[in-house]
Structure 1
Amino acid sequence: MRALVLLIFLVASASATFFQDCGSVGSNVEVNVEGCDVPPCILERGQTIDVNIKFTASRSSQTLTVDAGANIGGIQVPWPGVDTNGCLYTACPFAAGSRVDWTMPVDILREYPAISTIVTFRLVDGNGDFQACAVLPATIV
């Protein structure tokens, strides 16, 4: 039985995208960028990808705000077209200690330049704290 539990954990872990945490106050943060296990994530212009972030909330919150952006030439630029209302993609309000599962479709617009960048996704609670914060390299093609 123990081996089965370990196998299930390893399979579940294998499907997550490797990322760097950038100050999450929530715990057990997992990130899954569709089609990307190991960065840099290849983001094809004209496509829509799902970004999934799961975390255990450190506190209760009525709201969840999405702050997504990319570092271009050393400047953090907001991701155009990303809906900042995180509650559209998960259940709000959520309680401290609950597991939050947030998934949002993200458009990779044809207008984006073909560049390598660092992408940041922050899920911000009603107090302004990052319940989940993930940074990962990406290449837009």
Structure 2
Amino acid sequence: MNTLLLSALVFLAFANGEEIKNFEMCPGTRCKISSLDVNPCPQSLKGKMCEFSTGLNVSVNFSYITEFSSMVPKTNWYAVVGSLEVPNPNMKTDGCLYTSCPIKAGIEGKYYTGEIPLIKAIPKGQYVGQIKFWDGTKFASRKDHCCFRLTIKIN
């Protein structure tokens, strides 16, 4: 599968509307997600994975509290394939485009994707999407990151 298409799936998994409970935190993450909303995802009301049809616009919003601070957070959305994290090459990685800056440890923040089109070229199937943000300063610890994963289905 094309890396661009696979990475774009991550956008689609996370949005603003139906609260999602069936996501998992990435290993070693240093944050808590207090709410995750995906729009549209009516399946979440029944505790099921989100299912999307190509051609839709999807949005993702979530609230978080980190254990780290950052003046210059970086972010990316990934498709997880086995043990590989495939980043979206077209995403702007400036975390301040999606959340208020600076990020302060222990203070709730909100992350917004806006509407993301689900392109028709994405193959049908089940995927694991991941959103990750981290402290982007030159000497930051690689441990200072916030990350979660969500399984989605493309119809």
Judge same fold: TM > 0.5, yes or no. yes
Q: Does 1:30 align with 2:35?
A: yes
Distance (Å, rounded) in 2 between the aligned partners of 1:114 and 1:27: 31
Distance (Å, rounded) in 2 between the aligned partners of 1:129 and 1:73: 21
Shifted more, 86-95 versus 127-136: the winner is: 127-136
TM-score by length of 2: 0.69
Cα pair 1:18 1:31 within 8 Å, conserved: no
Distance (Å, rounded) in 2 between the aligned partners of 1:26 and 1:134: 10
Q: 2:97 aligns with which of 67, 88, 104?
A: 88
Q: 1:40-64 CA distances to partner (integer Å, 9 max, x unpaired)?
A: 2112222221111211121221122
TM-score by length of 1: 0.74
- 5+ residue gaps, structure 2, are 1-17
Distance (Å, rounded) in 2 between the aligned partners of 1:53 and 1:17: 12
- For 1:121, what is the secondary structure of its paired residue? strand
In structure 2, give the amino acid aligned to 1:86: G
Cα pair 2:68 2:144 within 8 Å, conserved: no
Q: Does 1:117 align with 2:127?
A: yes
Q: Does 1:133 align with 2:144?
A: no
Which residue number in structure 2 is paired with residue 78 of structure 1? 87
Segments ≥4 residues shifted beyond 6 Å: none
Give the % identical residues.
Answer: 24
Deviation at 1:133, TM superposition (A): 1.2
Which residue number in structure 2 is paired with residue 42 of structure 1? 51
Q: 1:18-75 CA distances to partner (integer Å, 9 max, x unpaired)?
A: 2011132023443222223234211222222111121112122112222211134765
Q: 1:60-117 CA distances to partner (integer Å, 9 max, x unpaired)?
A: 2112222211134765322354332221122111222111100103332222111211
Total equivalences in the alignment: 128
Cα pair 2:19 2:38 within 8 Å, conserved: no
- Say which one has the larger Rg: 1
Shifted more, 109-118 versus 77-86: the winner is: 77-86
Cα pair 1:17 1:39 within 8 Å, conserved: no
Cα pair 1:39 1:138 within 8 Å, conserved: no
Output the aligned Cα RMSD. 2.4
In structure 2, give the amino acid aligned to 1:118: V
Q: 1:60 aligns with which of 60, 65, 69?
A: 69
Q: Does 1:18 align with 2:22?
A: yes
